[in-house]
Structure 1
């Protein structure tokens, strides 16, 4: 079949070029063919490509396909366009070279080249299809990335973390689809591949159960969103600021500057306290006042002092509540709120409240008592005896006094 296709063509070319019998004529024809090939490939072809690109852009710029053409022109790298141009130029120069070989009577070589080209056509087609799939996937991923970014900017409920998750999930879907298409282009048996993948999945699942559990828990955390990067949280026994969330682990930075890595399966099994999510945090302090002080007046003084601290917000309003009778003081509980909670703001607010309340109590003469013990020295006369049965001190005249008096 191949011989039937190529032989008549070569014979026709030979008959056509039989008139080129002299060497001078063949040289002239060869030079003309080479010049024509160079002009077409290096001048005419780039001009036609630029003209076609401008025509397509002008026709579809404002139509329904305007966004598509703009996206393709933005995301197709210049190297890809240059590669296509160079490929077509090489094809033109190849045809020119074949024509020159025919002029010089090298039809056997031409026949061999044509036979090899026809035999290699399926492989060349698969290579071209692979290049097309790779280029389409690249352009699609770039368009997808910008589309998700624009969508995230248009809505208010999507956080940066959610945008990253959505991008990674859609990229995974696109890449998986592209891989299946490439397998189909190369005629790979997908049934055997799926069977092997299933067996491999069983082996990997048994060998890496904890890792797979962390990955599954990571996906659940991404969708449930108990915290995001930058939140101040407590996870089990660990407290700190979230610095990174992956599908395998969550990373915290504690207040000592240490980085704590917690597997996501442990995160999902632990109680999570998020002090940042609601935008406000209530803090409380206990302070004692002397029993001789007026609790109501002391509460008013403390409340005024708390309100004077800059980090304390007005709503919800601060509160001062007498809560207990201590060993040496009446205990007042100071309650106040801060916004945009973080560890530095918490300790700054507590420090400010302590200083303000202490200064206000000093100005009002309200004492903050501390535990103290009073010792007394009591003497007993030499003629007194102690009744060991009832702890009474009895004098010789028969009267008695309590030893504890």
Structure 2
């Protein structure tokens, strides 16, 4: 009994496959007897027609490619435009071949018509997508905007073209685009609530790119982090420090923090402090400091550097030395300051200008008789100021 059941099951499957194949080659269920020879003849005739149509379409495609390729100089077509033209012609060849095959396979005329319209819409959006990048580049280059804005607009326009193209293609096959867009809106709202931080970073990234407070290549300081901006994406900003360490900061943190852009202008000023002794000659020390600044290549002559007294403290006289550098030197500023301190120290030593260390001086009047201590370690000391 078990073997008989399995045999019947296999026979039913084979019968279904037999019927499906007969229907696929043009037969009908209403036929009392299945005429395989006539069906085979019809199938062979259909295949021959399809091959002929494909050969004709392929011949015109080859002819168009041959004409464009051998008349490239006459038509003044660049290599980049030639690639675009070949892509368009290849797309037309594929679409025409598909329609030719569908027309010979008894596909409903409405489906063939919808496929043709959908192919036209898809081709138009493809051409728009390929040319949008060049259009955006020319417009932004004309107005002098940076590459970050260009990449943002390209991404947004690509997404917009993709959505509109998909909606136009689906509309040709009877899909309700309004309901689909409404459904996507509900899904997008739910995703937005689930990923609020990501959405906040995305909006902050767009704001940063549009405001252009800083650009890729600028040296900025965000809180305690300082470095060169190497990437501004829609979610994060990447900063490369002097130690060759990449710091990835969420855009929401960047937008809510105080950002110092050190390279937004043509030159930037820094300063160091130098201390000399009270009895040292100020003019001599200033001349040595200014000479060291003049001999340092990275320091600009205009605007002029300066060395002025900023404080007379407990342990000496303090100079504040101000100098200007170009934005390219900001990344090396610690090393520049270290070299300046070293060279100034050497110059002051050679000129005999002392740099005092913190100390305390005890002054006692000469006309006071101090008693000699009668016990070991017993002493009395009178401290007085200079008078």
More deviation, 302-311/167-176: 167-176
| 2:287 corresponds to | 300
In the alignment, which residue of structure 1 is the partner of 2:178?
191
> Given that residues 312 and 349 in structure 1 are in contact (C-alpha distance below 8 angstroms), is that contact kept between their aligned partners in structure 2?
no
Mean Cα deviation higher: 46-55 or 161-170: 46-55
Name 1:16's counterpart in structure 2.
none
- The secondary structure found in structure 2 opposite 1:370 is coil
User: Against the structure 1 CA distance between its residues 342 and 132, is the aligned structure 2 distance closer, same or farther, given a 3 Å change threshold?
Assistant: farther
Q: 1:127 aligns with which of 111, 115, 135?
A: 115
Deviation at 1:258, TM superposition (A): 3.2
- Structure 2 CA distance for partners of 1:375 and 1:135, relative to 1, 3 Å: same
**Whole-Å Cα distance in 2 between the matches of residues 351 and 156 of structure 1?**
42
3-state DSSP class of the match of 2:263?
coil
Q: What is the aligned counterpart of 1:234 among 221, 224, 244?
A: 221
Q: Which has the larger radius of gyration?
A: 1
Shift of 1:358: 1.8
Aligned partner (choices 257, 267, 273) of residue 286 of structure 1: 273
Cα distance change, pair 51–333 in 1 and its aligned pair in 2 (3 A): closer
Q: How many corresponding residue pairs?
A: 332
Q: Does 1:75 align with 2:84?
A: yes
Correspondence for 2:8: none
Distance in 2 (CA, whole Å) between partners of 1:199 and 1:40 is 46
Offset at residue 274 of structure 1 (A) = 0.8
| TM-score, scaled to structure 1 | 0.68
Secondary structure (helix, strand or coil) at the match of 1:368 reads coil
Residue 93 of structure 1 deviates from its aligned partner by 9.1
Q: Which runs of 5+ in 2 are unaligned?
A: 1-43
Q: Which residue of 2 aligns with 1:336?
A: 323
Deviations 1:26-70 (A, max 9, x none): xxxx99xx7x99788647962686269849x98xx87xxx88x99
Partner of 2:314: 327
> Which residue, 377, 380, 387 being the options, matches 2:371?
380
Quick one: which of 163, 168, 175 aligns to 2:155?
A: 168
Deviations 1:70-126 (A, max 9, x none): 986441444x6346446657887999xx8xxxxxxxxxxxxxx5xx33x2x222333
CA contact 1:42–1:89 (8 Å) conserved in 2: no
C-alpha RMSD of the superposition: 4.0
Hey, what's the Cα distance between the residues in 1 that align with 2:91 and 2:185? 39
Is the Cα–Cα contact under 8 Å of residues 65 and 86 in structure 2 kept in the other structure? no
Counterpart CA distance in 2 for 1:167 and 1:312 is 41
**CA gap 1:287/1:281 in 2 versus in 1, 3 angstroms:** same
- Paired position in structure 2 for 1:46: 59
Are 2:355 and 1:368 aligned? Answer: yes
